[in-house]
Structure 1
């Protein structure tokens, strides 16, 4: 099944040069064709980059959210709690609720059952009670040999089962032809990735909107890559996301996450973020 999936994306995608013109798509992968992804890719990325991983109780997805400043976004408008969540993510705990559009439930179940739980990646919760006991998360920061920040691994597991739900790599990126930095999220897969470039926008009352809208290849949006040795292929996915991260009282942050396939809403996730005691 995995070989067939990779063959499909090689067929519908385009050859890309990850060391040259398409370096913006270069990201951590799971270098083995079979087996569990979970957090195994992180050690491989440490070896490839010659860097090291640090574990800090106050590590953030972004060391400084001001790195997203650009012509379309002013981080100074963000509420302090929203800023704190991104810069000190590890000190926040998470509760989550999910609501699927009924027609997409069978497809979501198949992906989670036969892929997500098997490889420990993108194991989307299907029923609201799947996350009733909450989600555990940890943040590990990847530094290069000189100590410069390369990105942050945000590893989220089910508190009830301990199984991996998401294992992502977060950093900022500026896409070709753009002057506005985006949030770049990579989900390593066996011999490939799913990547999302999210454009930051200001929301009401200090909120942050992150969107991956429709657009051409090379613009903000979702991509899948397949990597085999020195060769790679990539395709743009018709998946679009919106995150609205907003304050709700003292030291209380909420997030509304919408995932769409084309124009059809697939699911909505709601997160409650609270500082750890």
Structure 2
């Protein structure tokens, strides 16, 4: 995003967010990241098959059950004017994350926002074959970091097809913290070089599907 200040509202003051967490959102491509995933029963039974499909399409390409963490690099782009002008959301930006070891796409999405009832919400669109998956989230405080949650007006996950949009029986929640403000372990237990820790928890029908752990380290030479 251009500035976390755009999300200021009663109950959320961007100026109290830790500088490292704020930089992750405003200077995203200056961070190197690792991604790990823990799949939960009963969905873990099919996660291996799903992982082969996500690897083939290079999208939502998380580590499968028992898989190693992925080191990822980020590239951010503004949309071409022809695409941006048809997107009703504010400041849509493309964020491409790729696996440093394989070159495969890990996560490709268009990040944007919109205002409803004087509050700005995060809106993320993930392109998929013949459809796309969209998420609406609210930003809240979480210690010195931030939380993003679908537990908000219009929040949720939506599957968009040519026939229209369907709200899915799913939710997700992010906790993003500076290292010293988080009790979450890193993938290798070493926090010395890590600036930001995050976890993303996705639920389907109220049951945990997957917990995704991120470590983010700022490239001081960027």
TM exceeding 0.5: yes
- Runs of 4 or more, structure 1, over 4 Å off, are none
Higher strand share: 2
Q: CA deviation at 1:152?
A: 1.6
Give runs of aligned pairs for residues 142-157 of structure 1, distance below 5 A. Answer: 142=79, 144=81, 150-157=91-98
Matches of 2:164 and 2:154, distance apart in 1: 17
Provide the residue aligned with 1:70 in structure 2.
Answer: 9
Q: What's the RMSD between the two structures over aligned residues? A: 2.4
- Do the aligned partners of 1:258 and 1:269 also contact (CA within 8 Å) in 2? yes
One of 262, 272, 276 as aligned partner of 2:205: 262
2 CA distance for matches of 1:119 and 1:180?
Answer: 35
- Cα distance between partner residues in 2 of 1:180 and 1:267: 29
Q: Which has the higher helix share?
A: 1
Between 1:76-85 and 1:104-113, the stretch displaced more is 104-113
2:61 maps to which of 118, 123, 129: 123
Q: TM-score, normalised by structure 2?
A: 0.82
| Cα distance, 1:127 vs structure 2 | 3.2
Partners of 1:271 and 1:119 lie apart in 2 by: 22
- The answer for the alignment partner of 1:165 in structure 2 is 106
1:86 counterpart (13, 25, 41): 25
Taking structure 1 as reference, are residues 160 and 127 closer, same or farther at Cα in structure 2, changes over 3 Å only? Answer: farther
- Please tell me whether Structure 1 or Structure 2 has the larger radius of gyration of its CA atoms: 1
Q: Is this contact kept in 1: 2:28–2:74, CA < 8 A? A: no
Q: Contact between 1:111 and 1:123, CA under 8 Å: does it hold in 2?
A: no
Q: Unaligned stretches of 5+ in structure 2?
A: 181-192
Residue 72 of structure 2 corresponds to residue 135 of structure 1: yes
CA shift, 1:179, in A, is 2.7
User: Alignment length, in residue pairs?
Assistant: 203
1:128: Cα distance to partner?
A: 4.7
Counterpart contact for 1:117–1:163, Cα < 8 Å: yes
Q: Structure 1: which 5+ residue stretches go unaligned?
A: 1-61
Deviation at 1:143, TM superposition (A): 6.0
How far residue 163 of structure 1 moved from its aligned partner, in angstroms, is 1.4
| Contact 1:72–1:180 (CA under 8 A) maintained in structure 2 | no
| 1:246 counterpart = 2:174 | no
1:97/1:128 contact within 8 Å kept: no
